[in-house]
């Protein structure tokens, strides 16, 4: 439990294609995070609830290699 | 085919049952998935003469062969059926997220026949399918129903929903099927077929893996494309100049363009970037297809529809599944005083043109509101816009009176009356009831047939055939006539098909007058364009990927990597020809005579326009269509596929599977 991995997003290369969102088997991701900067007002993926099971299907599916599965630092 | 599940779900709403059917691999080899699989299945399983609104008609929801493989821009879902609008082949295509959801339930397609006694919805997840009561959703608009269905089926995988609004429930023959808050598979009257079956929605919540032969190779192709798109940008504020660009384009010869050009425009503004260009260049029909830009204040109107205005109220971009481009957007329309809605999807060019310049309406806010009304009702904006434009011209010419319109003053540019009429059409109220089945049927009741713009019963998309004669061929020869998406000169000029297909003519710089002639080269061009579009439909790819051209969007490489094949472009183009031929065979089987489908006189330039970029243009459409059919190996007089062509494409053997 303590070592459950979660996706960490590298938004620089993200193209908002939502392949990761649809790959998630438990509905833990959605395109809801507004872009911090840039002109294209894209929405980016983020965890939207506590359902993530750490399966890594989002990272596996991402063509732009924007997702790393990491153990969240809770200190 | 290693990128497909090899299974379809067959549902019988009369009996309340469903079964899973296995599809032979040879079928995928021959027609791929998507529209191809749909054409094969419907040709075999809908009996000749079946009532499109009866239990024998089959409504199919198909995903694409590349959907879910990691391929970019491969998230289109196609609805197939026998069309109640034309009486022949029907299909409609949509983005959003529904296509992968079909595959994640373990199917390549869902085919639904029969009629339920009471409103129902189909629910599918990893465990299978259930037909559920939909009485509490019936009567809601498409957005309300979708939101409620998602809320009522939440808790795990986000359900994806295809749903009809009031127009589909009312069996309006110009209604479609929606997903993602009003994005609509609009054409061919597919919503009416769903409504006739008392099927409110299909809700999919599966999470099965989607197959792919070589996911790493597919991802590498996507990464290359994604990087290119991420680097694209256009200096801000140029939208206001697009109208001037249109004036220039209207005077220029036909030019092959770089495939990336439309991507730049669509990434910045979406398809509304085309509106000012269309108004001034001759591409967009004006005043019910009757006028040149000078007669409607063309350049001023181009500024009215400046896409920068839309960007200013865009809250966020909207991307369909697997799309890095993002031509869609969510708009804040809280500033539209008469709108009860605060948001809408960015209207497509087609919607803007149909309710704006086609009706000589200069108020873009009214079109934003109409867009939301029609998306929620699930009514086709192209068909509805053409029908309203006909009603206005009839009213202006005294064919329809104020008494008949229930008191509406249907004059050019009266957007208030446009809105009132659309509300009547959605609810089938009074005069609106007679217009809710499209312009052909309305003109049969009221007269004014010379103003009724339709091709074989379906209202045409918002691109003028006099500006692009090749489009005129497709609009007539297409088994679902009136569609603007199958091929155009500008599309062909951007695709570089000659680099993947041995018989496709190269795009050249030439005078537009050359396009008016019926030549073998023109026929091969329109055939090649059709075959590639059918290929994209079988793969589930977006036509904006097609317009990127074969060097930027590598559909053949994608297909080989995902399916585990090593075929060349000629092989894939033959698949496209096969899909198109089966669709035409469907029409012939059902007594739909291709030779009876004609372009309206106006769209042929009979009489020609007196001013503007299309001044004096008259098409030789019938000769061109005959040559197009001949190039496909179909009878040049009847449009029926010849027996030797059917045999050469292996369709006889395919239909025995």
The dotted CATH code for B7-204 is 3.60.9.10
Nearest to B153 by CA among B176, B177, B169, B137: B137
- The predicted structure's pLDDT at residue B490: 86
Does the predicted model carry a pTM greater than 0.90?
yes
Q: Are B39 and B90 in contact (CB under 8 A)?
A: no
Q: What is the pLDDT of residue B122?
A: 98
Q: Please give, rounded to a whole number of angstroms, the shortest distance from the CA of B266 to a CA of chain A.
A: 12
Angle in degrees, CA B77, B496, B572, rounded to 5:
50
% of chain A residues with pLDDT over 70: 87
Which pLDDT score is estimated for B361? Answer: 97
- Share in percent of chain A as helix, strand, coil (round to 5): 15, 25, 55
Domain ranges within chain A, ordered by starting residue: 6-70
| Residue in chain A lying closest to B210 (CA) | A23
CATH code, residues B277-451: 1.10.569.10
ipTM of the complex: 0.93
Give the CATH number of domain B469-654: 1.10.599.10
Kindly state the tokens that stand for B236.
């801000």
Q: Which residues of chain B make contact with A13, given a CB cutoff of 8 A? A: 226-227, 230
At residue B13, the pLDDT reads 98
Show the tokens assigned to B50.
């079946």
User: Can you tell me the mean pLDDT for A39-53?
Assistant: 88
* Residue-wise pLDDT tens digits, B594-616: 999 999 999 999 999 999 999 99
| Alpha carbon B213 to chain centroid, angstroms | 30
A27 Cβ under 8 Å from any chain B Cβ: yes
Cβ B222–A41 below 8 Å, yes or no? no
The reply to whether B127 touches chain A by the CB within 8 Å rule is no
**pLDDT score, position B517:** 92
In chain A, residues with a C-beta closer than 8 Å to the C-beta of B326 are 15-16, 40, 42
- Would you call the peptide bond into B459 cis, given omega within 30 degrees of 0 as the criterion? no
CA A3, CA B345: separation in Å to the nearest integer?
A: 41
% of chain B beyond a pLDDT of 70 = 100
Spatial distance between the Cα atoms of B299 and B312, rounded to a whole number of angstroms: 21
Pairing of strands B120-125, B109-113: unpaired
CATH of A6-70, one of 3.40.50.10420, 3.30.70.3270, 3.90.1150.10, 3.40.50.2300: 3.30.70.3270
Q: Where are the domains of chain B?
A: 7-204, 277-451, 469-654
Question: Closest residue of B to A32, CA-based?
Answer: B316
Residue A38 has pLDDT above 80, yes or no: no
Chain B residue with CA closest to A19: the answer is: B322
Rounded Cα distance between A58 and B88, Å, is 42
* pLDDT higher than 60, residue B222: yes
pLDDT at B460: 98
pLDDT at B514: 86
């Amino acid at each position: 439990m303590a070592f459950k991995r979660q996706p960490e997003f590298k938004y620089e290369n993200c193209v908002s294609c939502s392949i990761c969102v649809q790959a998630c088997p438990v509905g833990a991701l959605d395109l809801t995070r507004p872009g911090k900067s840039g002109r294209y007002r894209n929405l980016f993926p983020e965890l939207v609830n506590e359902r993530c099971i750490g399966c890594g299907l989002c990272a596996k599916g991402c063509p732009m290699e924007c997702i790393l599965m990491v153990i969240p630092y809770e200190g | 085919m290693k990128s497909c599940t090899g299974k379809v779900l067959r549902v019988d709403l009369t009996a309340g049952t469903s079964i899973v059917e296995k599809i032979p691999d040879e079928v995928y080899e021959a027609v791929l998935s998507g529209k191809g699989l749909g054409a094969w299945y419907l040709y075999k399983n809908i009996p000749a003469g079946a009532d499109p609104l009866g239990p024998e008609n089959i409504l199919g929801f198909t995903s694409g062969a590349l959907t879910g493989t990691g391929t970019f821009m491969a998230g289109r879902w196609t609805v197939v059926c026998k069309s109640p609008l034309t009486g022949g082949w029907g299909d409609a295509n949509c983005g959003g997220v529904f296509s992968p959801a079909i595959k994640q339930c373990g199917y390549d397609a869902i085919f639904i026949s029969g009629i339920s006694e009471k409103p129902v919805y189909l629910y599918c997840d990893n465990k299978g399918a259930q037909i559920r009561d939909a009485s509490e959703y019936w009567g809601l608009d498409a957005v309300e129903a979708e939101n409620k269905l998602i809320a009522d089926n939440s808790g795990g995988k986000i359900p994806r929903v295809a749903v009809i609004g009031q127009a589909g429930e009312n069996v309006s023959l110009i209604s479609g099927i929606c997903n993602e808050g009003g994005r609509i598979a609009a054409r061919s009257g597919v919503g009416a077929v769903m409504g006739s079956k008392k099927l409110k929605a299909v809700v999919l919540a599966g999470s099965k893996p989607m197959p792919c032969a070589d996911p790493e190779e597919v991802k590498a192709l996507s990464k290359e494309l994604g990087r290119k798109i991420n680097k694209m940008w256009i200096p801000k504020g140029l939208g206001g100049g697009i109208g001037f660009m249109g004036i220039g384009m209207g005077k220029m010869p036909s030019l092959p363009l770089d495939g990336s050009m439309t991507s730049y425009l669509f990434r910045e503004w979406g398809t509304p970037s085309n509106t000012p260009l269309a108004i001034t260049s001759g591409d967009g029909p004006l005043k019910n297809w009757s006028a040149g830009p000078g007669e409607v204040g063309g350049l001023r109107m181009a500024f009215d529809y400046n896409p920068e205005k839309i960007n200013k109220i865009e809250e966020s971009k909207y991307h369909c599944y697997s799309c890095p481009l993002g031509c869609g957007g969510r708009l804040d329309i809280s500033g539209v005083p008469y709108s009860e809605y605060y948001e809408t999807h960015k209207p497509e060019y087609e919607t803007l043109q149909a309710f704006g310049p086609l009706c000589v309406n200069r108020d873009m806010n009214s079109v934003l509101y109409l867009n939301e009304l029609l998306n929620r009702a699930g009514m086709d904006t192209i068909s509805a816009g053409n029908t309203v434009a006909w009603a206005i011209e009839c009213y202006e010419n005294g064919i329809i009176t104020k008494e008949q319109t229930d008191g509406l003053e249907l004059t050019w540019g009266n957007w208030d009356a446009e809105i009132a009429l659309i509300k009547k059409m959605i609810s089938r109220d009074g005069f609106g009831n007679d217009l809710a089945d499209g312009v052909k049927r309305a003109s049969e009741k009221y007269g004014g047939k010379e103003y009724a713009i339709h091709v074989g019963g379906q209202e045409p998309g918002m691109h003028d055939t006099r500006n692009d004669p090749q489009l005129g061929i497709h609009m007539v020869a297409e088994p679902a006539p009136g569609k603007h998406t199958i091929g155009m000169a500008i599309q062909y000029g951007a695709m570089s098909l000659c680099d993947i297909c041995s018989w496709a003519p190269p795009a050249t710089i030439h005078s537009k007058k050359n396009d008016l002639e019926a030549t073998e080269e023109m026929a091969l061009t329109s055939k090649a364009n059709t075959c590639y579009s059918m290929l994209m439909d079988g793969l589930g790819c977006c036509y904006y990927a097609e317009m990127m051209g074969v060097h930027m969007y590598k559909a053949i490489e994608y297909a080989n990597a995902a399916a585990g094949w090593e075929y060349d472009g000629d092989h894939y183009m033959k698949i496209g020809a096969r899909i198109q031929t089966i669709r035409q065979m469907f029409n012939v089987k059902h007594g739909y005579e291709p030779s009876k489908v004609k372009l309206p006189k106006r769209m042929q330039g009979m009489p020609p326009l007196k001013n503007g970029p299309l001044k004096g243009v008259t098409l030789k459409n019938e000769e061109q269509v005959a040559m197009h059919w001949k190039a496909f190996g179909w009878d040049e007089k009847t449009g029926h596929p010849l027996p030797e062509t059917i045999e050469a494409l292996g369709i006889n053997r395919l239909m025995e599977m």
